[in-house]
Amino acid sequence: MSYYKSIRPYIFKLDCEKAHTLANIMCQIADFFPPILSYLSKKTEVENKTLTQNIDGMQFHNPIGLAAGFDKNATMIRPLCALGFSHLELGAVTPQPQSGNPKPRVWRHIQEESIQNAMGFNNEGSLTISKRVQKLYPFAIPLGINIGKNKTTPEADALNDYLKLAKDFANLSNYLSINISSPNTPNLRALQNKSFVKELIVELCKVYQKPIYLKLAPDLPMQDILELTDEAINNGAKGIIATNTTLDYSLVPNPKEIGGLSGAVLKQKSLEITKELGKILKNKATLISVGGIFNAKDAYERILYGASLVQIYTAFIYEGPFVVQTINQELLSLLQQDGFDNIALAVGAKL
Protein backbone atom coordinates (compact mmCIF):
# COMPACT_ATOMS: atom_id res chain seq x y z
CA MET A 1 0.00 0.00 0.00
CA SER A 2 1.33 3.46 -0.86
CA TYR A 3 2.17 5.93 1.89
CA TYR A 4 -0.65 8.16 0.68
CA LYS A 5 -3.20 5.35 0.87
CA SER A 6 -2.18 4.72 4.48
CA ILE A 7 -2.76 8.35 5.52
CA ARG A 8 -5.79 8.87 3.28
CA PRO A 9 -8.36 7.78 5.90
CA TYR A 10 -7.16 10.62 8.14
CA ILE A 11 -7.31 13.16 5.31
CA PHE A 12 -10.79 11.89 4.43
CA LYS A 13 -11.91 12.56 7.99
CA LEU A 14 -11.64 16.24 7.06
CA ASP A 15 -14.46 17.87 5.18
CA CYS A 16 -13.53 18.07 1.45
CA GLU A 17 -12.96 21.79 1.36
CA LYS A 18 -10.85 21.74 4.52
CA ALA A 19 -8.71 18.99 2.97
CA HIS A 20 -8.36 21.14 -0.13
CA THR A 21 -7.32 24.15 1.97
CA LEU A 22 -4.72 21.94 3.66
CA ALA A 23 -3.36 20.90 0.25
CA ASN A 24 -3.24 24.55 -0.75
CA ILE A 25 -1.28 25.44 2.41
CA MET A 26 1.19 22.59 1.80
CA CYS A 27 1.66 23.87 -1.74
CA GLN A 28 2.29 27.40 -0.44
CA ILE A 29 4.93 26.06 1.95
CA ALA A 30 6.61 24.04 -0.80
CA ASP A 31 6.49 27.10 -3.05
CA PHE A 32 8.41 29.06 -0.45
CA PHE A 33 11.29 26.58 -0.38
CA PRO A 34 12.83 26.04 -3.84
CA PRO A 35 14.76 22.91 -2.67
CA ILE A 36 11.44 21.20 -1.90
CA LEU A 37 10.18 21.98 -5.37
CA SER A 38 13.34 20.77 -7.07
CA TYR A 39 13.30 17.59 -4.94
CA LEU A 40 9.70 16.94 -5.98
CA SER A 41 10.40 17.70 -9.63
CA LYS A 42 13.32 15.26 -9.70
CA LYS A 43 11.32 12.59 -7.91
CA THR A 44 8.26 12.82 -10.15
CA GLU A 45 10.00 13.38 -13.46
CA VAL A 46 9.44 10.66 -16.03
CA GLU A 47 11.64 12.10 -18.72
CA ASN A 48 11.32 10.24 -21.97
CA LYS A 49 10.93 11.43 -25.54
CA THR A 50 8.23 8.80 -26.11
CA LEU A 51 5.83 10.80 -23.93
CA THR A 52 6.42 14.21 -25.50
CA GLN A 53 4.16 15.87 -28.02
CA ASN A 54 3.74 19.21 -29.71
CA ILE A 55 0.04 20.01 -29.90
CA ASP A 56 -1.43 23.18 -31.37
CA GLY A 57 1.93 24.88 -30.94
CA MET A 58 2.36 23.86 -27.30
CA GLN A 59 5.01 21.49 -25.99
CA PHE A 60 3.80 18.75 -23.58
CA HIS A 61 6.38 16.58 -21.80
CA ASN A 62 3.74 13.97 -21.00
CA PRO A 63 0.01 13.61 -21.68
CA ILE A 64 -1.32 14.08 -18.12
CA GLY A 65 -2.77 17.46 -17.18
CA LEU A 66 -4.58 18.82 -14.16
CA ALA A 67 -8.28 19.31 -14.88
CA ALA A 68 -10.00 22.60 -14.11
CA GLY A 69 -11.33 23.30 -10.64
CA PHE A 70 -8.43 22.19 -8.45
CA ASP A 71 -6.39 25.39 -8.71
CA LYS A 72 -9.22 27.86 -9.16
CA ASN A 73 -7.21 30.89 -8.06
CA ALA A 74 -3.83 30.00 -9.59
CA THR A 75 -2.16 29.77 -6.17
CA MET A 76 -0.46 26.38 -6.66
CA ILE A 77 1.14 26.60 -10.11
CA ARG A 78 4.76 25.78 -9.24
CA PRO A 79 4.07 22.95 -6.75
CA LEU A 80 1.58 21.32 -9.13
CA CYS A 81 4.12 21.51 -11.93
CA ALA A 82 6.66 19.87 -9.58
CA LEU A 83 4.25 16.94 -9.17
CA GLY A 84 4.71 16.06 -12.82
CA PHE A 85 1.67 17.45 -14.63
CA SER A 86 2.38 18.41 -18.25
CA HIS A 87 -0.16 21.22 -18.20
CA LEU A 88 -2.42 22.93 -15.71
CA GLU A 89 -5.93 24.14 -16.37
CA LEU A 90 -6.52 26.98 -13.92
CA GLY A 91 -9.91 28.31 -12.88
CA ALA A 92 -12.78 28.42 -13.56
CA VAL A 93 -12.17 32.16 -13.57
CA THR A 94 -15.11 34.56 -13.85
CA PRO A 95 -14.85 38.30 -14.65
CA GLN A 96 -15.85 39.38 -11.13
CA PRO A 97 -14.91 37.57 -7.93
CA GLN A 98 -17.69 35.37 -6.55
CA SER A 99 -18.11 33.22 -3.48
CA GLY A 100 -19.88 30.26 -5.10
CA ASN A 101 -22.70 28.24 -3.62
CA PRO A 102 -23.28 27.95 0.14
CA LYS A 103 -21.24 25.29 1.99
CA PRO A 104 -21.25 22.34 2.26
CA ARG A 105 -20.90 21.99 -1.50
CA VAL A 106 -18.43 19.12 -2.03
CA TRP A 107 -18.83 15.52 -0.88
CA ARG A 108 -16.93 12.25 -1.32
CA HIS A 109 -18.57 8.99 -2.36
CA ILE A 110 -15.65 6.91 -1.15
CA GLN A 111 -16.83 3.43 -2.14
CA GLU A 112 -17.52 4.71 -5.65
CA GLU A 113 -14.23 6.68 -5.84
CA SER A 114 -16.25 9.71 -6.75
CA ILE A 115 -16.69 13.35 -5.75
CA GLN A 116 -19.89 15.33 -5.95
CA ASN A 117 -19.35 19.07 -6.22
CA ALA A 118 -21.64 22.07 -6.36
CA MET A 119 -18.94 24.73 -5.98
CA GLY A 120 -20.49 27.27 -8.36
CA PHE A 121 -17.34 28.96 -9.70
CA ASN A 122 -16.02 30.30 -6.40
CA ASN A 123 -12.95 32.31 -7.40
CA GLU A 124 -11.14 35.57 -6.79
CA GLY A 125 -12.03 37.01 -10.19
CA SER A 126 -10.13 37.85 -13.33
CA LEU A 127 -8.22 40.89 -12.06
CA THR A 128 -6.65 39.22 -9.03
CA ILE A 129 -6.00 35.92 -10.77
CA SER A 130 -4.50 37.48 -13.90
CA LYS A 131 -2.12 39.54 -11.73
CA ARG A 132 -1.05 36.34 -9.97
CA VAL A 133 -0.50 34.47 -13.24
CA GLN A 134 1.42 37.43 -14.65
CA LYS A 135 4.17 36.83 -12.07
CA LEU A 136 4.88 33.39 -13.56
CA TYR A 137 3.83 33.59 -17.20
CA PRO A 138 5.28 32.36 -19.55
CA PHE A 139 5.69 29.24 -17.47
CA ALA A 140 7.65 25.99 -17.82
CA ILE A 141 4.53 24.05 -18.91
CA PRO A 142 1.39 25.16 -20.76
CA LEU A 143 -1.14 26.99 -18.61
CA GLY A 144 -4.76 26.90 -19.71
CA ILE A 145 -7.46 29.13 -18.27
CA ASN A 146 -10.93 27.69 -17.79
CA ILE A 147 -13.35 30.59 -18.25
CA GLY A 148 -16.93 30.87 -17.01
CA LYS A 149 -19.57 33.55 -16.69
CA ASN A 150 -20.56 35.16 -13.40
CA LYS A 151 -23.71 33.81 -11.79
CA THR A 152 -25.35 37.26 -11.83
CA THR A 153 -24.64 37.85 -15.53
CA PRO A 154 -27.88 37.35 -17.45
CA GLU A 155 -27.76 34.76 -20.23
CA ALA A 156 -28.13 37.54 -22.82
CA ASP A 157 -24.84 39.11 -21.64
CA ALA A 158 -22.89 35.87 -21.25
CA LEU A 159 -20.85 36.48 -24.40
CA ASN A 160 -19.39 39.68 -22.92
CA ASP A 161 -18.16 37.81 -19.85
CA TYR A 162 -16.30 35.27 -22.01
CA LEU A 163 -14.86 38.02 -24.23
CA LYS A 164 -13.61 40.00 -21.24
CA LEU A 165 -11.88 36.91 -19.84
CA ALA A 166 -10.31 36.07 -23.19
CA LYS A 167 -8.90 39.60 -23.41
CA ASP A 168 -7.68 39.57 -19.79
CA PHE A 169 -5.77 36.32 -20.35
CA ALA A 170 -4.76 36.84 -24.01
CA ASN A 171 -1.13 37.33 -23.01
CA LEU A 172 -1.21 35.27 -19.83
CA SER A 173 -2.19 31.78 -20.97
CA ASN A 174 -1.31 29.14 -23.52
CA TYR A 175 -4.90 28.10 -24.19
CA LEU A 176 -8.46 28.81 -23.15
CA SER A 177 -10.99 26.22 -22.08
CA ILE A 178 -14.53 27.47 -22.45
CA ASN A 179 -16.76 26.35 -19.67
CA ILE A 180 -20.42 26.32 -20.60
CA SER A 181 -20.80 22.83 -19.16
CA SER A 182 -20.68 23.27 -15.38
CA PRO A 183 -23.90 22.08 -13.74
CA ASN A 184 -23.43 24.49 -10.83
CA THR A 185 -24.23 27.87 -12.40
CA PRO A 186 -27.96 28.18 -13.11
CA ASN A 187 -28.75 27.82 -16.83
CA LEU A 188 -25.08 27.73 -17.86
CA ARG A 189 -25.55 24.44 -19.69
CA ALA A 190 -28.34 26.08 -21.74
CA LEU A 191 -25.51 27.91 -23.53
CA GLN A 192 -24.50 24.59 -25.05
CA ASN A 193 -26.50 25.29 -28.19
CA LYS A 194 -25.26 25.63 -31.74
CA SER A 195 -26.02 29.29 -32.30
CA PHE A 196 -24.37 30.46 -29.05
CA VAL A 197 -21.34 28.20 -29.58
CA LYS A 198 -20.88 29.58 -33.09
CA GLU A 199 -21.13 33.23 -32.00
CA LEU A 200 -18.93 32.60 -28.96
CA ILE A 201 -16.11 30.92 -30.86
CA VAL A 202 -16.17 33.40 -33.74
CA GLU A 203 -15.99 36.36 -31.36
CA LEU A 204 -13.39 34.76 -29.08
CA CYS A 205 -11.11 34.01 -32.03
CA LYS A 206 -11.04 37.73 -32.82
CA VAL A 207 -9.54 38.59 -29.42
CA TYR A 208 -7.62 35.41 -28.54
CA GLN A 209 -5.11 34.08 -31.04
CA LYS A 210 -4.03 30.92 -29.19
CA PRO A 211 -5.85 27.57 -29.00
CA ILE A 212 -9.43 27.63 -27.76
CA TYR A 213 -10.97 24.38 -26.55
CA LEU A 214 -14.64 23.85 -25.75
CA LYS A 215 -15.38 21.78 -22.63
CA LEU A 216 -18.58 19.76 -22.89
CA ALA A 217 -20.98 18.12 -20.43
CA PRO A 218 -21.38 14.34 -20.50
CA ASP A 219 -25.16 14.49 -20.11
CA LEU A 220 -25.96 15.83 -23.57
CA PRO A 221 -27.36 13.40 -26.13
CA MET A 222 -24.52 12.10 -28.31
CA GLN A 223 -26.02 13.77 -31.39
CA ASP A 224 -25.83 17.16 -29.65
CA ILE A 225 -22.24 16.51 -28.58
CA LEU A 226 -21.28 15.75 -32.17
CA GLU A 227 -23.13 18.76 -33.57
CA LEU A 228 -21.70 21.18 -31.00
CA THR A 229 -18.24 19.80 -31.70
CA ASP A 230 -18.69 20.39 -35.44
CA GLU A 231 -19.95 23.91 -34.80
CA ALA A 232 -17.02 24.73 -32.51
CA ILE A 233 -14.33 23.30 -34.77
CA ASN A 234 -15.77 24.75 -37.98
CA ASN A 235 -15.75 28.19 -36.41
CA GLY A 236 -12.18 28.17 -35.12
CA ALA A 237 -11.94 26.12 -31.91
CA LYS A 238 -8.85 23.89 -31.88
CA GLY A 239 -10.45 21.08 -29.96
CA ILE A 240 -12.77 19.64 -27.36
CA ILE A 241 -12.32 18.80 -23.69
CA ALA A 242 -14.66 15.95 -22.75
CA THR A 243 -16.08 15.90 -20.17
CA ASN A 244 -17.24 17.95 -17.24
CA THR A 245 -19.08 16.31 -14.31
CA THR A 246 -22.36 14.40 -14.69
CA LEU A 247 -25.79 14.95 -13.19
CA ASP A 248 -26.65 11.26 -13.52
CA TYR A 249 -27.39 10.56 -9.85
CA SER A 250 -28.20 6.92 -10.54
CA LEU A 251 -24.43 6.34 -10.52
CA VAL A 252 -24.10 6.59 -6.72
CA PRO A 253 -26.29 5.08 -4.00
CA ASN A 254 -26.65 8.18 -1.83
CA PRO A 255 -26.39 11.27 -4.04
CA LYS A 256 -26.77 14.78 -2.67
CA GLU A 257 -29.45 16.87 -4.32
CA ILE A 258 -27.07 19.26 -6.05
CA GLY A 259 -23.76 19.17 -7.89
CA GLY A 260 -22.01 17.09 -10.51
CA LEU A 261 -20.34 13.72 -10.08
CA SER A 262 -16.76 13.01 -11.07
CA GLY A 263 -14.35 10.12 -10.69
CA ALA A 264 -14.77 6.41 -11.33
CA VAL A 265 -18.55 6.65 -11.83
CA LEU A 266 -18.00 9.02 -14.75
CA LYS A 267 -15.47 6.77 -16.47
CA GLN A 268 -17.82 4.84 -18.77
CA LYS A 269 -19.72 7.90 -19.98
CA SER A 270 -16.55 9.88 -20.59
CA LEU A 271 -14.94 6.94 -22.42
CA GLU A 272 -17.96 6.50 -24.71
CA ILE A 273 -17.88 10.19 -25.59
CA THR A 274 -14.11 10.04 -26.19
CA LYS A 275 -14.62 7.16 -28.63
CA GLU A 276 -17.27 9.02 -30.63
CA LEU A 277 -15.37 12.31 -30.64
CA GLY A 278 -12.14 10.50 -31.46
CA LYS A 279 -13.72 9.29 -34.71
CA ILE A 280 -14.84 12.71 -35.90
CA LEU A 281 -11.82 14.68 -34.68
CA LYS A 282 -9.06 12.35 -35.87
CA ASN A 283 -6.45 14.30 -37.87
CA LYS A 284 -8.73 17.32 -37.64
CA ALA A 285 -8.70 18.75 -34.12
CA THR A 286 -7.44 18.05 -30.62
CA LEU A 287 -9.31 15.87 -28.16
CA ILE A 288 -8.57 16.12 -24.45
CA SER A 289 -10.25 13.38 -22.45
CA VAL A 290 -11.19 13.82 -18.80
CA GLY A 291 -13.48 11.89 -16.48
CA GLY A 292 -12.72 8.88 -14.34
CA ILE A 293 -9.09 8.42 -15.38
CA PHE A 294 -7.26 6.79 -12.46
CA ASN A 295 -4.34 4.84 -13.90
CA ALA A 296 -2.16 4.27 -16.95
CA LYS A 297 -4.58 1.73 -18.44
CA ASP A 298 -7.40 4.28 -18.32
CA ALA A 299 -5.19 6.99 -19.83
CA TYR A 300 -3.86 4.68 -22.56
CA GLU A 301 -7.37 3.61 -23.55
CA ARG A 302 -8.39 7.27 -24.03
CA ILE A 303 -5.26 7.87 -26.12
CA LEU A 304 -5.87 4.84 -28.33
CA TYR A 305 -9.41 6.14 -28.92
CA GLY A 306 -8.20 9.54 -30.05
CA ALA A 307 -7.30 11.71 -27.06
CA SER A 308 -3.97 13.51 -27.45
CA LEU A 309 -4.03 14.55 -23.81
CA VAL A 310 -5.89 13.46 -20.70
CA GLN A 311 -6.66 15.34 -17.52
CA ILE A 312 -7.36 14.21 -13.98
CA TYR A 313 -8.94 15.68 -10.89
CA THR A 314 -10.62 13.02 -8.75
CA ALA A 315 -7.75 10.53 -9.13
CA PHE A 316 -5.45 13.16 -7.65
CA ILE A 317 -7.64 13.13 -4.52
CA TYR A 318 -8.03 9.34 -4.29
CA GLU A 319 -4.58 8.21 -5.48
CA GLY A 320 -2.49 11.03 -4.05
CA PRO A 321 0.18 13.52 -5.12
CA PHE A 322 2.38 11.04 -6.98
CA VAL A 323 -0.33 9.65 -9.23
CA VAL A 324 0.97 11.51 -12.30
CA GLN A 325 4.38 9.91 -11.95
CA THR A 326 2.85 6.44 -11.56
CA ILE A 327 0.61 6.91 -14.59
CA ASN A 328 3.48 8.20 -16.74
CA GLN A 329 5.84 5.38 -15.76
CA GLU A 330 3.26 2.69 -16.53
CA LEU A 331 2.09 4.44 -19.67
CA LEU A 332 5.63 4.42 -20.97
CA SER A 333 5.76 0.62 -20.51
CA LEU A 334 2.41 0.20 -22.27
CA LEU A 335 3.56 2.30 -25.23
CA GLN A 336 6.86 0.44 -25.46
CA GLN A 337 5.12 -2.95 -25.24
CA ASP A 338 2.95 -1.98 -28.22
CA GLY A 339 5.94 -0.68 -30.17
CA PHE A 340 5.01 3.02 -30.22
CA ASP A 341 8.14 5.19 -30.41
CA ASN A 342 6.10 8.26 -29.61
CA ILE A 343 2.76 8.72 -27.95
CA ALA A 344 1.45 10.71 -30.93
CA LEU A 345 1.55 7.47 -32.94
CA ALA A 346 -0.77 5.84 -30.41
CA VAL A 347 -3.34 8.64 -30.56
CA GLY A 348 -6.39 7.19 -32.29
CA ALA A 349 -4.64 3.90 -33.10
CA LYS A 350 -7.76 1.91 -32.15
CA LEU A 351 -10.14 3.93 -34.33
Ligand X SMILES: Cc1cc2nc3c(=O)[nH]c(=O)nc-3n(C[C@H](O)[C@H](O)[C@H](O)COP(=O)(O)O)c2cc1C
The DSSP-derived string for 148-182 is ---TTS-GGGHHHHHHHHHHHTTTS-SEEEEE---
Beta 64-66 vs 87-93: how paired, if at all? parallel
Phi-psi region of 303 (alpha: psi -120 to 50; beta: other; left: phi over 0): alpha
Q: What is the C-alpha to C-alpha distance for residues 339 and 82, in angstroms, rounded to an integer?
A: 29
Identity at 151, one-letter amino acid code: K
Report d(CA 51, CA 87) in Å as an integer.
13
According to the binding rule CB under 6 A, does residue 263 interact with ligand X? yes
Using the rule CB under 6 A, is 90 a contact of ligand X? no
Q: What are the phi and psi torsion angles at 287 (to 5°)?
A: -120, 125
Check binding of 348 to ligand X (CB under 6 A).
Answer: no
With H, G, I as helix, E, B as strand and everything else as coil, classify residue 145: strand
In whole angstroms, give the CA distance from residue 91 to residue 123: 7
114 is catalytic: no
Nearer Cβ to ligand X, position 90 or 335?
90
Number of H helices and E strands in the chain, helices first, is 13, 13
Residue 239 CB partners (closer than 8 Å, separation 6+)? 56, 211, 213, 214, 233, 281, 285, 286, 287, 288
Contacting ligand X within 7-66 (CB under 6 A): none
Q: Which stretch binds ligand X (CB under 6 A): 124-132, 273-281, 288-296, 325-333?
A: 288-296
Count of residues interacting with ligand X (CB under 6 A)? 26
Residues 236-255, one symbol each (x = binds ligand X by CB under 6 A, - = not), give --------xx----------
Nearer to ligand X, 68 or 228 (CB): 68
User: From residue 205, how far is each of 59, 124, 178, 252, 307 by CA, in Å?
Assistant: 21, 25, 12, 40, 23
Among the listed residues 65, 69, 84, 142, the single contact to ligand X using CB under 6 A: 69
Per-residue contact string for residues 306-345; x = within reach of ligand X by CB under 6 A: ------xxxx------------------------------
> In the range 134-193, which residues lie near ligand X by CB under 6 A?
146, 179, 182
The residue (of 85 and 313) whose beta carbon lies closer to ligand X is: 313
* Site membership for ligand X, residue 266 (CB under 6 A): yes
Nearer to ligand X, 31 or 112 (CB): 112
Which residue from 78, 176, 177 is spatially nearest to 133, judged by alpha carbons?
78
To ligand X, the closest distance from the beta carbon of 194 in angstroms equals: 20
From 131-139, 150-158, 286-294, 324-332, span contacting ligand X (CB under 6 A): 286-294
Catalytic residue among 130, 173, 181, 182: 182
Looking at the Cβ atoms of 148 and 306, the one nearer to ligand X is 148
Chain contacts with ligand X (rule: CB under 6 A): 67-69, 91-92, 106, 115, 117, 119, 146, 179, 182, 215, 244-245, 262-263, 266, 290-293, 312-315
Q: Cite the active site residues.
A: 182
